[in-house]
Chain A
Amino acid sequence: MLRLEARRHDSTLMALVSPLIATALTLVAGSILFSLLGHSPGRALYTFFIAPLSDLYGWTELGVKVAPLMLCAAGLNMCYQAKVWNIGAEGQLVIGALAGGYVGLMFPDTQTHWMLVPVLGFGILGGMAWAGLAAWLKTRFNTNEILTTIMMNYIALYGLLYAVHGPLKDPNGYNFPESAQFSEFVTLPVLFPDYRINISILFGLFALAASWIVLNRTLPGFQMRVLGQDQSAAAFAGFNQNRIVWSVMLVSGGLAGLAGICEVAGSIGQLVPQISPGYGYTAIIVVFLGRMSPIGIFFASILLGITYLGGEMVQMNFNLPKSITGLFQGMLLFFLLASDILIHYRILPANRASRVHS
């Protein structure tokens, strides 16, 4: 038998290694899964993880998937640093898309790219408002933010359905539940002609960099981290808990809203019933896998972005359901949580005496 012994110091080495262990374990579990389904694991894993990146098109598509993940994860990271469990990025993303998209649709005749500013602005504001509502519920009534944000995800989704089935439905759309196409003036500029990747990836990178500076070099970032690790120490130090909750919620809501409006004003081009394949939820995994550090999040969002592309690839090549993406993401998170035990504990055989601490 094995037993756990608490480390005196958290292991920084293990903190870096455990995401790699988790990824490796996911690959092992994935190959077992593929063999059980009767496919060669090597070929399947190649198709899932490598093939999507074999050409420029693949890399640019990765950028399309990674941008919303980075935006959502950068914001969620701030929340989780402060132990504010915002699970509502998905809903905030949808409301952002809805709010920004509404503005874009209201002025179809505006012939200037400046129109993007209010469109993106309202996207951000929409996400902020949706998250702010949860922040208000938490600070005013002390309701559990996990439950309220989840509930608001469902409400936001039905709100979007209502909009595309009702007021925002394209009158010339053959009764499809979709809005009209956005004009080229409210469409995000692409980075390379003929590819879908657009400037939203730059927003994502910028958000990550900014969040690093806030968390590591400013007092408010420090306050978030203290509140997350030790509420009673934060109270003792005189940090205003409500203000911290409000700021992290507004920031993460705004970033998720930006991700939403960038999706519809970017690669989608109109409001549709399904805007996001669960970016808001996947971003949660990204944050954990990225060790709650902006640099780690950068790499984690690339890996999770690949799982989206890989899901599409195996669907085409092996006729497996696309939902295998969700399965891989869930496994990854499980393995990560299990590997994280190595940061705080060392594993020893049960009969070996513990190492003496001096």
Chain B
Amino acid sequence: MDIDLVQNILYASVRNGTPLLLVALGEMVCEKSGVLNLGQEGMMLIGAVIGFMVAVSTGSLGLGILAAICAGALSAALFGFLTLTLLTNQVATGLALTIFGTGLSAFMGTGYIGKTLVGLQPVNIPYLMDIPVIGKAVFAQDLLVYLSVVIFLLIIWLFSRSRYGLVIRAVGENPEAAHAVGLPVLKTRYLAVLFGGGMAGLAGAYLSIAYTPLWSEGMTSGKGWIALALVVFASWKAERIILGAYLFGFASILHLIMQGSGYDLSPNILSMLPYVATIAVLIIMSRKQTMTRWLAPKSLGESYRPQS
């Protein structure tokens, strides 16, 4: 294998892994606060369609991305209102959000199928991008890829250094106790849910504005779900999420590489790979079951109703 190929594979893996990284980081923060939002897929789709529509009609990619973040957060707010204020079941509500998001995005995007857009262009960092092997993967990406890494670093800081990180963890572990020592349980959870929604919207916009630039129904093809598995796989640790996201990015371009190298395997079979890999990852994690249960936020998925 020549160096060029390796370089391109790394580049494409990072690009492909970035939407996963964004969603998974958002969901991780959300889950740390004790809320399980299975609506990632739906929020991504809503973000993708809104981002694309705004970008096409205004001609501004930035506005599109901003709109996508807002749309994601708005749909997360709906989820938050149902699960946190009205105390509905988080699993069912998350599923509802995905079903709703799939329907809404398909409905809104009908007129935009087939439209094109000049997508986000790479920002090449001179000299550094010429570093052999990794240069292109690290220093010749578009702005959103860089942004995702910045967010990743911020989250690392959040949970290792800041009081907010402690509060989120405390609320996620034991909301009753958190309330008793005077921490704002609902506010923390709402903010975490909104953050998760914004990140999912951003990830959607990455797909429709930077990665493919176009809109097609169900274009996230399960990435929201894979991200959910990724959070479990990373045992709620940001540094493992980034690794896992790029690994999955690699798995989902594998069929392109195989075709490129002349293996004659049906593309439909190869397309199964990321999903099979997700199941495999879940099996591997279950072997360390006691540990996973340990690391999972204790109150994950449970409604909390403050006494008053």
Contact = CB atoms under 8 A, between A and B. Distances in A.
Question: Chain B contact residues: over half helix, strand or loop, or mixed?
Answer: helix
A143 B279 CA distance: 8
Count class of interface residues, chain A? 35 or more
Interface string A324-335: 111111110110
B305 A4 contact: yes
A154 B272 contact: yes
Contacts of B268: 158-159, 161-162, 165-166
Contact of A337 (B82, B101, B102, B110): B82
Contacts of B92: 288, 333, 337
B99 A155 contact: no
Interface in A317-358: 321, 323-331, 333-334, 337-338, 340-341, 344-345
A242 interface: no
Nearest to A147: B229
12 contacts: A141-B287, A147-B279, A151-B279, A152-B275, A152-B279, A155-B276, A321-B110, A326-B102, A327-B104, A330-B103, A333-B99, A338-B86
A166 B266 contact: yes
Contacts of A328: 103
A284 B286 CA distance: 27
A323 B111 CA distance: 12
Given A147-B228, A154-B221, A331-B100, A165 B91 contact: no
B283 A337 contact: no
A267 interface: no
Given A327-B100, A334-B96, A143 B107 contact: no
B232 interface: yes
Interface string A84-95: 010100000000
Interface in B171-197: none
A166 B89 CA distance: 43
B142 interface: no
Interface string B83-119: 0001111011101110111111011001000000000
Nearest to B86: A341
B58 interface: no
Contacts of B110: 321, 323
A146 B38 contact: yes
B289 interface: yes
Interface of A: 3-4, 6, 85, 87, 137, 141-144, 146-148, 150-152, 154-155, 158-159, 161-162, 165-166, 281, 284-285, 288, 321, 323-331, 333-334, 337-338, 340-341, 344-345
Given A150-B225, A323-B107, A337 B275 contact: no
Contacts of A326: 99, 102-104, 106-107
Nearest to A340: B88
B302 interface: no
Given A323-B110, A327-B107, A158 B269 contact: yes
A141 B283 contact: yes
A151 B99 contact: no
Contact of B282 (A144, A323, A344): A144
Given A150-B225, A326-B99, A141 B282 contact: yes
Given A327-B104, A345-B87, 11 more contacts: A3-B308, A85-B91, A141-B282, A147-B278, A147-B279, A147-B282, A154-B221, A158-B271, A161-B268, A324-B107, A330-B102
Contact of B103 (A141, A162, A325): A325
B78 interface: yes
A165 B285 CA distance: 35
Interface in B201-224: 217, 221-222
A144 B268 CA distance: 25
Given A159-B272, A337-B89, A341-B88, A148 B222 contact: no
Contacts of B275: 151-152, 154-155
Contacts of A151: 222, 225-226, 229, 275-276, 278-279
Interface in B150-183: none
A39 B305 CA distance: 42
Interface in B17-62: 38
A284 B97 CA distance: 13
